[in-house]
């Protein structure tokens, strides 16, 4: 299969050049996703999805056009090339593409034990056990456990000599518990994933994982909503990751910056955050997702977005690098072979500083400790700078100590005010990724990683009761 896909990619390149394209990218992909869902003790779904196909992007008359096919023969690839050229005719003129070195190489994420070598029966019985452990607590009304396993092989060849491929493995467990007490219901969900092989699954007590989600749901169902209004906040690494990704990462994406759809347009070199804040995007960060090169065939480089509060750079692909006169950072990513690449984050996180966790809570005095476990996500309006995200069950901070649990915590704020309001940064660092979700932009989903240390923020808007 791999040899055939490479051969078709080469055919796509030469066909596009024959038809007058001045630059061509042929991307091949072969991927699989396995999902086992156990719902209240019963195997509800065991599904496997396989995909394989080819995406062709042409630069024709200084315009980009894209098409893809999963009918794997020469005739269909030729048709895709013709459609890509037709699409180019409808696109804007691009004067200059950012320069990058045409590299060749093969990358592989680390794994010791291939998930596909583990029997289906073993995977099912483990997932059943994890679900049972989550259900086994009084007051837990419903529990859903999922095991997700992704394999991704990507290959890119371009007419200027790029020949790169990678293979990666991502897997993890997700669990949701619903607790019921005195007429009220509350759900808590959590997931833990890693770019790894089956050894990641073997190395953890997953029954403990699901049981602890259930315990948190039981505690949360009795918890009040937080007070509504402005509060000082201490965010844990997962929340910091979510805030950064939503509140700042998107606004640092070169395409949004160049079109004026980012509140950071024109602010390069300016002080946009507290001097405690340094933020990077790194394709190979520990704990994060695996992005050695992007879907334009550029090696992913580490982007220093903010250094001690000063906006230093944006994430770019070749087109936006050309417009913004920045280096190509290898951030142009496509969901799969059916999409053209757009500028995306990889692993976007804040660098640690000097504070211990207790120290931060004590300094905060009064406020809220927002916790990522059980959070359902976030969203940003990059142009106006408004962002929002949900936190998991969190704790109020009173007299410099963690106090009662609160649930239903929703935070909102404005991008620039939030980062300027960072008052303390912890010395810990945790980056996480997920085999179950990702980041949505322009109708494309991308796996990402994010994180940081514990951070204190002067104030956030908290929606509660």
Within 173-212, the residues that bind another protein by CB under 8 A are: 178, 180, 184-187
CA dist., res. 281 & res. 318, Å (int): 17
Q: Which two tokens stand for residue 258?
A: 């160049």
Beta bridge partners of 60: 63
Q: Which two tokens stand for residue 211?
A: 């049981």
Backbone phi, then psi, for 300, in 5-degree steps?
-75, 125
Q: Does position 19 bind another protein by CB under 8 A?
A: no
Q: Does position 263 bind another protein by CB under 8 A?
A: yes
CB hemisphere CA count around 45 (13 angstroms):
11
Q: Using the rule CB under 8 A, which residue among 161, 379, 398, 404 binds another protein?
A: 379
Nearer to another protein, 144 or 455 (CB): 144
Q: Does position 410 bind another protein by CB under 8 A?
A: yes
Residue with tokens 């607590």: 137
CA dist., res. 8 & res. 386, Å (int): 45
CB–CB of 143/135 below 8 Å? yes
Nearest approach in angstroms of CB 248 to another protein is 16
CB–CB of 235/243 below 8 Å? yes
Q: Using the rule CB under 8 A, which residue among 15, 69, 191, 345 binds another protein?
A: 69
CA dist., res. 107 & res. 355, Å (int): 37
Within 265-304, the residues that bind another protein by CB under 8 A are: none
Contact stretch for another protein (CB under 8 A) within 16-24, 147-155, 375-383, 428-436: 375-383
**Other Cβ atoms closer than 10 A to 414:** 18
Q: Does position 72 bind another protein by CB under 8 A?
A: yes
Furthest-apart CA pair in the chain: how many Å? Answer: 73
Rg over CA atoms, the chain: 23
Total residues interacting with another protein, rule: CB under 8 A: 89
Nearer to another protein, 290 or 387 (CB): 387
Q: Using the rule CB under 8 A, which residue among 15, 67, 210, 345 binds another protein?
A: 67
CA dist., res. 416 & res. 146, Å (int): 37
Residue with tokens 């259900």: 135
Instruction: Name the pairing type of β-strands 63-69 and 42-60.
Output: antiparallel
Contact stretch for another protein (CB under 8 A) within 202-210, 286-294, 300-308, 371-379: 371-379
Nearer to another protein, 360 or 416 (CB): 416
Q: Does position 386 bind another protein by CB under 8 A?
A: yes
Within 210-239, the residues that bind another protein by CB under 8 A are: 225, 228-230
Nearest approach in angstroms of CB 386 to another protein is 5
In the chain, what is the straight-line distance between the N-terminal and C-terminal CA atoms, in Å? 56
Per-residue x/- track, 446-465, another protein (CB under 8 A): ---------------xxxxx
Q: Which two tokens stand for residue 41?
A: 């003790």
Q: Using the rule CB under 8 A, which residue among 84, 264, 303, 457 binds another protein?
A: 84
Nearest approach in angstroms of CB 433 to another protein is 20
Nearer to another protein, 231 or 448 (CB): 231
Within 113-172, the residues that bind another protein by CB under 8 A are: 119-121, 124, 128, 141-142, 144
């Amino acid at each position: 299969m791999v040899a055939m896909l490479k051969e078709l990619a080469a055919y796509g390149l030469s066909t596009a050049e024959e038809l007058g394209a001045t630059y061509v990218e042929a991307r091949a992909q072969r991927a699989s996703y396995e999902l086992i869902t156990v719902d209240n003790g019963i195997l509800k779904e065991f599904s496997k999805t396989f995909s394989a196909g080819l995406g062709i992007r042409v630069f024709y008359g200084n315009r980009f056009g894209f098409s893809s096919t999963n009918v794997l023969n020469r005739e269909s690839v030729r048709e895709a090339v013709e459609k890509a050229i037709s699409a180019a005719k409808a696109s804007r003129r691009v004067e200059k593409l950012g320069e990058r070195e045409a590299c060749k190489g093969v990358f592989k994420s680390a794994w010791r034990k291939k998930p596909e070598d583990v029997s289906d029966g073993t995977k099912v019985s483990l997932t059943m056990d994890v679900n049972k452990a989550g259900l086994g607590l009084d007051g837990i009304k419903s529990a859903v456990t999922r095991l997700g396993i992704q394999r991704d092989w990507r290959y890119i060849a371009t007419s200027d000599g790029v020949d790169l491929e990678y293979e990666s493995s991502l897997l993890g467990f997700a669990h949701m518990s619903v607790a019921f007490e005195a007429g009220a219901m509350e759900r808590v969900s959590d997931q833990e994933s890693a770019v790894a092989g089956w050894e990641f699954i073997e190395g953890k007590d997953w029954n403990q994982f699901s049981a602890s989600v259930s315990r948190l749901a039981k505690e949360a169902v009795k918890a009040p909503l937080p007070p509504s209004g402005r509060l000082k906040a201490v965010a844990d690494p997962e929340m910091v990751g979510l805030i950064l990704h939503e509140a700042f990462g998107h606004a640092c994406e070169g395409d949004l910056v160049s079109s004026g759809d980012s509140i950071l347009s024109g602010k390069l070199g300016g002080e946009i955050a507290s001097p405690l804040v340094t933020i990077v995007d790194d394709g190979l960060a520990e704990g994060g997702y695996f992005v050695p090169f992007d879907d334009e065939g550029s090696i992913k480089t580490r982007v220093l977005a903010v250094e001690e509060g000063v906006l230093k750079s944006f994430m770019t692909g070749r087109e936006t690098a050309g417009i913004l006169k920045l280096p190509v950072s290898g951030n142009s990513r496509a969901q799969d072979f059916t999409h053209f690449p757009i500028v995306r984050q990889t692993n976007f996180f804040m660098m640690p500083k000097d504070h211990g966790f207790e120290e931060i809570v004590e300094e905060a005095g009064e406020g809220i400790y927002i916790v990522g476990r059980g959070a359902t996500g976030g969203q940003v309006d990059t142009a106006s700078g408004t962002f929002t995200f949900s936190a998991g069950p969190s704790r109020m901070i009173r007299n410099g100590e963690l106090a009662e649990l609160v649930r239903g915590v929703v935070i909102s704020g404005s991008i620039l005010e939030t980062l300027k309001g960072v008052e303390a940064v912890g010395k810990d660092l945790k980056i996480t990724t997920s085999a179950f979700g990702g980041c949505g932009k322009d109708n494309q989903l991308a796996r990402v990683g994010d994180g940081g240390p514990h951070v204190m923020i002067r104030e956030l808007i908290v929606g509660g009761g």
